[in-house]
Amino acid sequence: MAWLHVFVVVLLLLAVSQATADEDPYIGVNIGTDLAIMPHPTQVVALLKAQNIQHVRLYDADRGMLVALANTGIRVMASIPNEQLLGIGQSNSTAANWVSRNIVAHYPATNITAICVGSEVFTTLPNAAPVLVNAMKFVHSALVASNLDNQIKLSSPLASSIILDSFPPSQAFFNRSWNPVMVPMLNFLQSTGSPLMLNIYPYYDYMQSNGVIPLDYALFKPLPPTKEAVDSNTLVHYSNVFDAMVDATYFAMAFLNFTNIPVIVTETGWPSKGDFKEPDATIENANTYNSNLIRHVINKTGTPKRPGIAVSTYIYELYNEDQKPGPISEKNWGLFDSNGDPIYILRLTDSGSLLANDTTNQTYCMAKEGADPKMLQAALDWACGPGKVDCSALLQGKPCYEPDNVIAHATYAFDTYYHCMGKTPDSCDFNGVADITTTDPSHGSCIFPGSLGRNGTRVNITAPSMNSISSDSPGRNFYSGGGFGTVLVVIKVMLWSVIFL
C-alpha cells in the first residue's frame, strides 16, 4: 500500500502548493496613527503611491482612510480593534453592522482583501480570547450574506510569543493553555482558506536572548556556516530568525494536525533609534533588517521547511509614531516621518519599484581594497585639505572616527568629495585608489553622503596658495606624497605633466 501513501502525500503537497505558490509574495506596510501630527489620509495615500506601496494594513477601519484608498489599486487589510472585539464576538448583529458600515460601504472601490480580527488577542487582551472565534464566525457570516467571503479573508494576527520552544522549529508548539481557542481558530482558517497571521520581531528576540542570538542572525546578514542555527531533528540550517519563526509556526500548526494553512507575517521591522539600553536600535540596523527582509520575501525563497512558498510580509511600519508610550525605540519603527521624508533610504536591488526611495542606483565612492596605504593616506590628506572636504566627522569622538584606519577614513573623504562633485566618475578616482560602489559604507551613526539622500558638506577653508590650481581639482588630479606640502607640489607636477603629455 506504499504507493497509495505516496499518492496521498503527493496530492496533499499539490493542494498545499496550489493554495499558495500560484501567488507571488508581496511586501505591505502597516499604518499606525499614533502621531502628534497625523498626515491627512490624502497625504498618506500620496506617499503610498509615490513609494509604490501596493499593500497596507490599517489598525481600524477608519472611514477617511478607506475613502482615500478607493480607486487606487492599493490592497487593504482593515482591522477590528481589540476594543470592539468583545462586542462583536458576543453579538452577530453587532458584527453584521460592523461589516456593513466598514466593509460593504467601501467595497469594491476600496480593495479590502482581509479583515484582521483583533490584534495579538491572546497576549494583550486574553479575556476576549474566548469570543475570538465567534467574532470571526459572525463577521464571516456577514461577509457570506454580502457575497464577499471569497474576496475578503479573515484572520487574527498572533504574537510570536504564543509559540513556545520556537527553537529548534521542529519542536515548536502553541502555548497549550490556548488550545481550546487555537484549534477551532485553525479549523476556521482552514475551512475558509484564510492564512495564519503572525507578528515576528527578531529585534525583541535578539534583545531578550542575552547574547544567544547573534545580531547578524537577526539581521539576515550572511553567517559563516559554523554560526548558522541547526535544527537537531531535521538537520536544517537556519541563517535568520525570521525563517526559523515562520517554520516554528508551520511546525506548531502541524503539531495540531493543520498542515495546509499558509502564513503571512502581519508585522515585522526594526527600530531606527533607541535609548541607552537599546544600542542596536540604529538607522543602520533598521535599514539592514528591512532591506534584507524585502529582498528575502520578494525573492520567493520561502523557508527551509517550505521552500518557494510565499510568506507575504507587512513591515512595521509606515510612520514613526511619536506619541507611542514606552522606550524611545517604540516611537521609531517607521520608514518615514510625518512629513513623508524617509528616515533612511532602503538598500534595495532587484526589488522592482517598490519603495521608490530605494538606492538601486545610489552610488558611493570608496577606497579600493588592497590599495597602497601610503597612497590612500596621501589621497585622504588631499581630500581633507585642498579638496576642501569637511572631514570633521573623522575626528576623535566624532561619528566616523571609528574604525580609526586609513581605509575607512579615506572612504569617508572620497565619498564626500564624490557627492560634492555631483558624482562624476572623474571625482572618484584619486589616482586609482578609489572605486565607485553601490554598497552604502555607512555604519552605526556614521552616515555617508549619498546615504539618506544627503549630499556631503565642504568647508570653506582657504586652500593654501594654490595659484593656478582650481580648488575644485577633481580627485584624479592628485598624486601620492608625504605631507601636505608635498601633496601640493605633486599636484603641480601632475598638472604640468598633464599639460605636457
Q: What cell does 57 get?
A: 494594513
Q: Which is nearer to ligand NAG, 284 or 481 (CB)?
A: 284
Taking residue 342's Cβ as centre, other Cβ atoms within 10 Å add up to 20
Three-state secondary-structure class, residue 198: strand
Stretch that binds ligand NAG, among 9-17, 92-100, 203-211, 383-391 (CB under 6 A): 92-100
Q: Provide the minimum distance between the beta carbon of 301 and ligand NAG in the complex, in angstroms, as a whole number.
A: 5
Taking residue 95's Cβ as centre, other Cβ atoms within 10 Å add up to 26
Stretch that binds ligand NAG, among 13-21, 352-360, 431-439, 474-482 (CB under 6 A): 352-360
Q: Which is nearer to ligand NAG, 348 or 394 (CB)?
A: 348
Decide: is 134 part of the binding site for ligand NAG (CB under 6 A).
no
The angle, 0 to 180 degrees and rounded to 10, between the axes of the packed helices 179-192 and 129-145 is 20
Q: Please tell me the count of residues contacting ligand NAG according to CB under 6 A.
A: 30
Whose CA is closest to 240, among 268, 272, 198, 275?
A: 268
Decide: is 96 part of the binding site for ligand NAG (CB under 6 A).
yes
Whole-angstrom Cα distance, residue 387 to residue 365? 15
Q: Provide the minimum distance between the beta carbon of 112 and ligand NAG in the complex, in angstroms, as a whole number.
A: 8
Q: Kindly report the CA angle at 102 between 101 and 105, in degrees rounded to 5?
A: 65
Q: Provide the minimum distance between the beta carbon of 319 and ligand NAG in the complex, in angstroms, as a whole number.
A: 15
**Hey, which bits of 280-438 come out as E strands?**
313-315, 364-367, 434-437
Residue from the set 146, 323, 360, 486 that interacts with ligand NAG by CB under 6 A: 360
Q: Provide the minimum distance between the beta carbon of 348 and ligand NAG in the complex, in angstroms, as a whole number.
A: 9
Distances (CA, A) of 316 to 25, 42, 267, 333: 17, 20, 5, 6
Binding to ligand NAG, residues 441-500 (CB under 6 A): 453, 455, 460, 462
Decide: is 252 part of the binding site for ligand NAG (CB under 6 A).
no
Q: Provide the minimum distance between the beta carbon of 41 and ligand NAG in the complex, in angstroms, as a whole number.
A: 18
Whole-angstrom Cα distance, residue 262 to residue 276? 39
Residue from the set 22, 24, 350, 369 that interacts with ligand NAG by CB under 6 A: 350
Cis preceding linkage at 399, omega within 30: no
406 Rama sector, left if φ>0, alpha if ψ -120 to 50, beta otherwise: alpha
Q: What is the DSSP letter of 385?
A: T
Residues 6+ apart with CB under 8 A from 390: 416, 456, 457, 458, 459
Q: Which residue among 267, 284, 321, 330 is the active-site one?
A: 267
CA atoms within 13 A on the CB side of 479: 12
Residue from the set 124, 299, 424, 438 that interacts with ligand NAG by CB under 6 A: 299
Decide: is 357 part of the binding site for ligand NAG (CB under 6 A).
yes
Residue from the set 210, 361, 467, 468 that interacts with ligand NAG by CB under 6 A: 361
Q: Which is nearer to ligand NAG, 303 or 480 (CB)?
A: 303
Q: Which is nearer to ligand NAG, 111 or 272 (CB)?
A: 111
Q: Which is nearer to ligand NAG, 42 or 455 (CB)?
A: 455
Residues 330-349: x where in contact with ligand NAG by CB under 6 A, - otherwise, as a string = ------------x-------
List helix spans (H) across 162-299.
Answer: 179-192, 202-208, 215-218, 241-255, 283-298
Residue from the set 164, 328, 406, 436 that interacts with ligand NAG by CB under 6 A: 164
Residues 6+ apart with CB under 8 A from 31: 44, 56, 57, 58, 59, 65, 317, 318, 319
Return the active site residues: 120, 267
Binding site for ligand NAG (CB under 6 A): 50, 73, 75, 92-93, 96, 108, 111, 113, 126, 141, 164, 175, 177, 256-257, 299, 301, 342, 350, 356-358, 360-361, 422, 453, 455, 460, 462
